[in-house]
Amino acid sequence: MLDVVILAAGKGTRMNSNLPKVLHSIAGKPMLHHVLDTVDHLSAGDLQKLVVVGHGAEQVEASISGRNCQCVTQAQQLGTGHAVQQVLPQLRDDALVLILYADVPLITPESLTGLLECAGPDTMGLLTVNLLNPTGYGRILRNDAGDVIAIVEEKDASAEQKQIGEVNTGIMAVPAKKLIQWLPELSNDNAQGEYYLTDIIAKARQAGTAIQVFQPASAEEVEGVNNRRQQAKLERIYQQAQADALLDRGVYLADPSRFDCRGELIAGRDVEIDINVVIEGKVELGDKVKIGPNCVISNSVIAANSEIKANSILEDAVVAEGCVIGPYARLRPGTVLKNGAKVGNFVETKKAVIGEGSKVNHLSYIGDCEMGARVNVGAGTITCNYDGVNKFTTTIGDDVFVGSNSALVAPVTLGDTSTVGAGSVVTRDVAADELTVARARQRSITGWLRPVKQPK
């Protein structure tokens, strides 16, 4: 039985922001959500999640509604011990309690599992780390036998204690029964006038409860975010880790330090990603997909052998095999490209099906459109899908040729193998196989003279 307590009440003064600290993001996801996701990866059967909220409580609660956790308010931030005191009524007597920090977002399920395995009914687990520069952290005090006897906070530490490199990460696993006993006994008689959670270590020692230390695989996992610099640092650590995982799976990244994944990327074999590509939400790339520089791809699926050229933006798009997109294309939600379709430079699409082998190569807007196979849409063609109030569909059959700079005023249908002359404004349906020209007829005037300048 596991009760997870996540401390998320802090203001985060040093972020210099109106957003509560725990809602600041790493890789596009609030830090608190990172911690909740990690908890969801723990294989504990009977698990309860308690989040201690305070600053910006309403906003924090709203962001995690639907995440199956209970919020407990800490009206005044009187210290980490005080924060955990707030959840005492919610703790289950026989549970092991895992205490986490919402501003320590990179902790891994592996480290937490290791820590939990250290703890038992009469043993508490403490996650510590050895740092070259331990300034600011609580130091782990051990006796000559090497047993942990207490934690002393930086502000309360003697010069000698400040030399200790082993520090408290804040993360610990404690039997609920012990917390229920120890927390009400805490005092705030210390340099910060706070109720320190760390004081329970000395209490455990007095009570003869064993303290088992576990250390994470890397110190970066337990770094906290108190300011923008630390946030930026953790962002890079997180991105580098994602890039490394992709490289290990065989993805070519032109420069791992100029790749950002703010979500999940599933990539096939021999995928190539050039510099400054941003992935958002869930993106799937098939085998041999190539992404050019400066592309932003959100919640899209791109099948094998397709190429996205430089500076293209895709959002909620589905691209079949062997398509070519961009440079400078914008595929908005609901765009579907069938096999071998092409969407070229300065083309915007929205809720549009571009049929197999069809081409929209230059300077077009194609919205609310169903297009068949092998269609050629000339440069500058626009689907006029909006009358200011309602949206209408343009339906284009197979093998249609639309001349350049045409306006297709929806609702309108172009039959199979029909042709539209350049510069047409098409307001009525075009039958199959017909040529439609809907523009002013050309007039040429012979003998016409240009005006000449009058001499002064």
* Choices 166-174, 236-244, 266-274, 422-430; region in contact with ligand UD1 by CB under 6 A: 166-174
Question: DSSP alpha helices (H): ranges in 208-325?
Answer: 228-248
Is 52 among the residues that bind ligand UD1 (CB under 6 A)?
Answer: yes
Is 74 among the residues that bind ligand UD1 (CB under 6 A)?
Answer: yes
| Residue from the set 38, 48, 85, 169 that interacts with ligand UD1 by CB under 6 A | 169
Q: What is the CA radius of gyration of the chain?
A: 31
- What is the SS3 assignment for 36? helix
Between 226 and 339, whose beta carbon lies closer to Ca ion? 226
Contact map string, positions 203 to 232, toward Ca ion, x by CB under 5 A:
---------------------x--------
**Virtual CA dihedral for 274, 245, 166, 37, nearest 10 degrees?**
100
CA dist 281 and 28 (Å) reads: 9
Is 105 among the residues that bind Ca ion (CB under 5 A)?
Answer: no
Q: Which amino acid is at 180?
A: I
Q: Which tokens go with 40?
A: 């969801």
Which among Ca ion, ligand UD1, none contacts residue 82 (Cβ within 5 to 8 A by kind)?
Answer: ligand UD1
In angstroms, what is the minimal distance from the CB of 243 to ligand UD1?
27
Contact map string, positions 9 to 28, toward ligand UD1, x by CB under 6 A:
xx------------------
Between 21 and 342, whose beta carbon lies closer to ligand UD1? 21
In angstroms, what is the minimal distance from the CB of 380 to ligand UD1?
55
Which among ligand UD1, Ca ion, none contacts residue 9 (Cβ within 5 to 8 A by kind)?
Answer: ligand UD1
Contact map string, positions 199 to 238, toward ligand UD1, x by CB under 6 A:
-------------------------x--------------
Compute φ and ψ for 337, nearest 5 degrees.
Answer: -105, 125
What are the CA-CA distances from residue 161 to residues 137, 190, 208, 276, 348 (Å)? 11, 16, 24, 46, 63
CA dist 352 and 68 (Å) reads: 37
52 close to 35: Cβ distance less than 8 angstroms:
no
Q: Give strand ranges (E) for 391-449.
A: 394-396, 401-402, 407-409, 412-414, 419-420, 425-426, 435-436
CA dist 169 and 164 (Å) reads: 14
| Residue from the set 2, 72, 83, 173 that interacts with ligand UD1 by CB under 6 A | 83
332 close to 349: Cβ distance less than 8 angstroms:
yes
Which among Ca ion, ligand UD1, none contacts residue 47 (Cβ within 5 to 8 A by kind)?
Answer: none
| Residue from the set 99, 102, 303, 430 that interacts with ligand UD1 by CB under 6 A | 102
| Residue from the set 151, 285, 336, 371 that interacts with ligand UD1 by CB under 6 A | 151
352 close to 332: Cβ distance less than 8 angstroms:
no
DSSP 386: B
Catalytic-labelled residue, pool 24, 34, 82, 362: 362
Between 103 and 356, whose beta carbon lies closer to ligand UD1? 103
* Choices 60-68, 118-126, 191-199, 448-456; region in contact with ligand UD1 by CB under 6 A: 191-199
* Choices 101-109, 279-287, 369-377, 394-402; region in contact with ligand UD1 by CB under 6 A: 101-109
362 flagged as catalytic: yes
* Choices 96-104, 180-188, 396-404, 437-445; region in contact with ligand UD1 by CB under 6 A: 96-104
| Residue from the set 20, 125, 170, 403 that interacts with ligand UD1 by CB under 6 A | 170
**401 bridge partner residues:** 376, 419
| Closest CA relative to residue 267, chosen from 223, 258, 214, 253 | 253
28 phi-psi bin (left φ>0, alpha ψ -120 to 50, beta other): left
Q: Which residues in 278-307 contact Ca ion (CB under 5 A)?
A: none
* Choices 99-107, 305-313, 319-327, 425-433; region in contact with ligand UD1 by CB under 6 A: 99-107
**Virtual CA dihedral for 418, 422, 425, 429, nearest 10 degrees?**
0
129 close to 167: Cβ distance less than 8 angstroms:
yes
Is 7 among the residues that bind ligand UD1 (CB under 6 A)?
Answer: yes
Interacting residues with Ca ion (CB under 5 A): 224
- Contacting positions for ligand UD1 (CB under 6 A): 7, 9-10, 52, 54, 74, 77-80, 82-83, 101-103, 137-138, 151, 153, 167-170, 196-198, 224
Known catalytic residues are 362
